Amino acid sequence: MENAAIAAVFEEMAELLEFRGENPFRIRAYQNGAKTIRDLDESVTAILKDPDRDLSSIPGIGKTLLEKTETLVSTGSLPQLEKLRQEIPEVVIQMARIPGLGAKKAAKLQKELSIESLGDLRAACHEDQISKLKGFGNKTQQAILDGLAIAEAAAERIYWSQGDQLAKSITKHMQLCETINRMSWAGSYRRGRETVGDLDLLVVAENRDAVMDHFEAYPERSTTILRGDTKISIRVGKAFQVDMRLVDEGQFGAALQYFTGSQAHNIHTRRIAKEKGLKINEYGVFSLEDDSLVAGTTEEEVYAAIGLPWIAPELREDRNEFKWSAENSLPELVELADICGDLHMHTTATDGTATLREMADAAIERGLTYIAITDHSQRVSMARGLDATRLREQWQMIDEIRSEYEGRLTILKGIECDILEAGGMDLPDDCLEEADWVLASIHYGQKQPRDQITERLLGAIENPCVTCIAHPTGRLINRRPPYEVDMESVMQAAKQHGKALELNANPARLDLNEVHLAAAKRLCIPVIISTDAHSVEGMDVMQYGIKQARRGGLTCQDIGNTRSWNDLKEMLQTA
């Protein structure tokens, strides 16, 4: 069982216990355990199997959680969770998010009307069923209708890329307001989390009322949730929330540090401050002795005051950043400008919308020095995947235009070759051998059992023609979970055979995730950040991959395509 799957079970336990109003300490124990396990870069299952290891010696995992983990790993489920799930269906939790409805009424509605989805609830409102129920009435029914959109959207967090679009649009709007002196985004958006729950903006301004008025005048605002003296929250579009806080110039750094989070990171900074006889909060760093202000204007000063170097927001999850700070070994995180090549893209030969030449020209425009054309192989019939003959035709065309691009762009002969359901590659080795770059990926049979999927991936890694495994876990954020796979074995094999692993930069994939990336870094497996572009614009997603890589703590050194093609080729040959 993957660590993430175990963590998800404990997170769900915590959520359901919280919903039932259980003891907060019990809830927190599950939350802490979940976080510990999610961030652990060793397999919990492996630790349990090792008679010389004790899982409960890891901070955050007590005796109770150890027992639960054992049950979970050996039986695949947790009786307590099954019981809670029956008691509290998912739809009741979703319904309880409707303003004014609450847990009790949601449960009652669900039972009385046998509601299975928010869609059912909407239909029940339209059919006037709720107003007729005892204790509900017309007003409640209307309130439910009004709040449904929120509950529907609350069930989802938006992709970072969508948050980025909105944040940039709001920034542009706010820049028209003359009274603003300083402004920065905070929260999960600044940390670059793969999804964002809401946006948090911090502003220093002369005239607070004017700034709030201007914020409310944002064209896409639908409502104002609350407007106080220093904080205002609006809703944008159907349901997305944006918070703005107004702070004093002298507190800006402290507020930025505080509201960037994460909460876990802040808890740790508070502890460090306390050990130094200091107190840190959103207003500044203060002496515990006489309450005098020590720092607050900039984030650098705030961190320096508690004896830490400035820490990049992407690292602020209380994973390794404090250890690295103490050792003076904070990584110099990779940047977009470090990327030299893009090794995953499609053209009109399969399901892309741009031709080979158009992709090549777009790559030059983006400052790249090499690209690999990696259209789909024949198994992907829906995308008119290439058989050996058509692939060789494409390569011949690459040969023909290479001289034209000489000195400007190296165009590599590549292929995204499917790993077949029964194992083995979708194209014969004698064809793959002629390629400069072979991505191997799974598009079919994603529901197979863990052993089978792992075997398929190991088979691809052991094939000498394969250079890199594309989107190694197959997940689609908010839409499809990763397939069952033993990532530890996959990584060990990649290391042994000198293969690279992809970080697919598509904002819905971001596959590998940051925990896997950190593990790849530790094992010195080259990571390739690729766009998987299916159009010219598709090449612009590289930035999202960079964010994710930074969250994994990756530097230029850890990423293969920050090197020239010759250096990368050599690196993979000697690995």
Whose CA is closest to 1, among 495, 486, 556? 486
Which of Ca ion, ligand DGT, Zn ion, none lies near 39, with the C-beta cut-off 5 to 8 A by kind? none
Cα separation, 28 vs 5, whole angstroms: 18
Least separation in angstroms between residue 351's CB and Zn ion is 9
Distances (CA, A) of 221 to 199, 241, 275, 504: 13, 9, 44, 33
SS3 158: strand
What's the helix, strand, coil split of the chain in %, to 5?
50, 15, 35
The correct pick among 12, 15, 198, 282 for binding Ca ion (CB under 5 A) is 198
Q: Which is nearer to Zn ion, 43 or 506 (CB)?
A: 506
Which of Zn ion, ligand DGT, Ca ion, none lies near 263, with the C-beta cut-off 5 to 8 A by kind? ligand DGT
Phi and psi for 193 in degrees, rounded to 5? -60, 150
Cα separation, 482 vs 474, whole angstroms: 5
Opening angle at CA 411, ends 568 and 391, nearest 5 = 110
**Would you count residue 12 as binding ligand DGT (CB under 6 A)?**
no
The whole-angstrom distance between residue 444's C-alpha and the CA centroid of its chain comes to 23
Site string for Ca ion, 172-191 (x = CB under 5 A): ---------------xx---
User: Which tokens sit at 265?
Assistant: 């990171």
Tell me which residues in 179-198 interact with ligand DGT (CB under 6 A). 187-188, 196-198
- In 85-220 the beta strands, taken as DSSP E runs, fall at 158-159, 180-186, 195-196, 199-205
Which of Ca ion, ligand DGT, Zn ion, none lies near 532, with the C-beta cut-off 5 to 8 A by kind? Zn ion
Which of Ca ion, Zn ion, ligand DGT, none lies near 416, with the C-beta cut-off 5 to 8 A by kind? Zn ion
Q: Which is nearer to Ca ion, 243 or 488 (CB)?
A: 243
Site string for Ca ion, 241-280 (x = CB under 5 A): --x-------------------------------------
**Would you count residue 200 as binding Ca ion (CB under 5 A)?**
yes
Q: Which is nearer to Ca ion, 191 or 563 (CB)?
A: 191
Q: Which is nearer to Ca ion, 39 or 243 (CB)?
A: 243
3 state SS for 240-307:
EEEEEEECCHHHHHHHHHHHHCCHHHHHHHHHHHHHCCEEEECCEEEECCCCCEEECCCHHHHHHHCC
Whose CA is closest to 246, among 191, 311, 179? 179
Q: Which is nearer to ligand DGT, 261 or 538 (CB)?
A: 261
Q: Which is nearer to Zn ion, 416 or 426 (CB)?
A: 416
User: Which tokens sit at 565?
Assistant: 């093609």
Q: Which is nearer to Zn ion, 284 or 482 (CB)?
A: 482
Least separation in angstroms between residue 509's CB and ligand DGT is 19
User: Which tokens sit at 82?
Assistant: 């099954």
Whose CA is closest to 251, among 267, 230, 272? 230
User: Which tokens sit at 176?
Assistant: 């028209």
Q: Which is nearer to ligand DGT, 188 or 473 (CB)?
A: 188
Cα separation, 339 vs 37, whole angstroms: 32
Q: How many residues bind Ca ion (CB under 5 A)?
A: 5
Q: Measured at CB, which residue is nearest to ligand DGT?
A: 261
The whole-angstrom distance between residue 398's C-alpha and the CA centroid of its chain comes to 35
Helix (H) or strand (E) holding 371: strand 370-373
**Would you count residue 511 as binding Zn ion (CB under 5 A)?**
no
Cα separation, 303 vs 281, whole angstroms: 12
Helix (H) or strand (E) holding 417: strand 410-418
Q: How many residues bind ligand DGT (CB under 6 A)?
A: 12
Which of Zn ion, Ca ion, ligand DGT, none lies near 299, with the C-beta cut-off 5 to 8 A by kind? none
User: Which tokens sit at 290?
Assistant: 């006489």
Whose CA is closest to 350, among 434, 404, 426? 426
Q: Which is nearer to ligand DGT, 194 or 486 (CB)?
A: 194
Least separation in angstroms between residue 67's CB and ligand DGT is 31
Tell me which residues in 389-448 interact with Zn ion (CB under 5 A). 416
Site string for Zn ion, 530-549 (x = CB under 5 A): --x-----------------
Phi and psi for 442 in degrees, rounded to 5? -100, 120
**Would you count residue 560 as binding ligand DGT (CB under 6 A)?**
no
Stretch that binds Zn ion, among 92-100, 231-239, 525-533, 539-547 (CB under 5 A): 525-533
Least separation in angstroms between residue 422's CB and ligand DGT is 41
Distances (CA, A) of 65 to 77, 95, 345: 14, 30, 44
**Would you count residue 194 as binding Ca ion (CB under 5 A)?**
no
**Would you count residue 162 as binding ligand DGT (CB under 6 A)?**
no
Instruction: Note whether 326 and 306 are within 8 A (CB).
Output: no
User: Which tokens sit at 493?
Assistant: 């094999």
Q: Which is nearer to Ca ion, 19 or 189 (CB)?
A: 189
Q: Measured at CB, which residue is nearest to Ca ion?
A: 187
Whose CA is closest to 575, among 465, 500, 471? 500
Amino acid identity, position 430? D
Q: Which is nearer to ligand DGT, 159 or 370 (CB)?
A: 159
Tell me which residues in 225-284 interact with ligand DGT (CB under 6 A). 258-259, 261-263, 266
Q: Which is nearer to Zn ion, 200 or 532 (CB)?
A: 532
**Would you count residue 459 as binding ligand DGT (CB under 6 A)?**
no
Q: Which is nearer to Ca ion, 189 or 303 (CB)?
A: 189
Least separation in angstroms between residue 161's CB and ligand DGT is 14
Tell me which residues in 348-367 interact with Ca ion (CB under 5 A). none
Which residues of the shown chain bind ligand DGT in the complex (CB under 6 A)?
187-188, 196-198, 200, 258-259, 261-263, 266
Which residues of the shown chain bind Zn ion in the complex (CB under 5 A)?
416, 532
Which residues of the shown chain bind Ca ion in the complex (CB under 5 A)?
187-188, 198, 200, 243
